Amino acid sequence: MSHKDLWIARIATLGPVALAFPLATALVFRAGMDRNVVADGVALIYSFGLFAGFTTSLWPLKSLRTWTRYERIESAALVFMVVSYLTHLTWELGWLVAHDAIALGRDAAWAYPWWAYIDGGDMRYAEAPATLIGMEILSVINGLVGVVGLTLWLRSGRRDRRGVVLCMATAVVHLYSASLYFLSEMLDGMPNVDTTSFLDTWIKFGLANAPWLVFPWFVLYWGYRRILG
């Protein structure tokens, strides 16, 4: 059966996420819109778009009526892994390489894809403390390991268990790094987040990063079933 409705759902949810940052840059630096208002819009699109996109295989779509629970979870896990690894090797790798220039480039169009998050989301990305740099190095390595794992698995016709184990390892790292990201800020008293703002606290800081605490469990369940099977 064609899964056209699933692909439409994913394009409708993840497509705006992919377009949000370049569009936001154009709105701020071409149209002159308020950068904080635009950053709030990006946060809403990114945060809700990711959660919606990652769960599309769980929706009551017509073409998925015959899918088992495992097939739905596997599909969600694969989407999460692909988007996650791409994020590690683009936005996070870019910040890791150029964080000093980004911090100095607040009013530069090229730096706005990072400042759209820094504005209200987490000022640590402007200050670049050693703990955050360490977490981002770990994330980039995790992305590389994940790409190797998915490649091994897919090229083997979805049979190579080494690829599955590597992907499961990235899920463990996601859980560790995301937990450290949240806990380190909260235990410090949230000095880098505007806690008077619901949007800054619960959406930009909270919901935007929450997928890396939720969906790694999907990956671990998928891997467990794949290895047993």
Backbone angles phi, psi at 107, to 5 degrees: -100, 15
Number of domains the chain contains: 1
Q: Angle at CA 83, nearest 5°, toward 205 and 123?
A: 25
Q: Which domain holds residue 212?
A: 4-228
Span 14-56, pLDDT tens digits: 999 999 999 999 999 999 999 989 999 999 999 999 999 999 9
| Prediction pTM value | 0.93
Span 142-157, pLDDT tens digits: 999 999 999 999 999 9
pLDDT surpasses 90 at 117: no
Q: Which two tokens stand for residue 47?
A: 């945060």
Read off the DSSP letter of residue 91. I
Closest CA to 82 of 211, 229, 227, 177: 211
User: How many CB atoms sit inside 10 A of residue 117's CB?
Assistant: 21
Which single residue is written with the structure tokens 């703002």? 197
In this predicted structure, what is the pLDDT of residue 1? 53
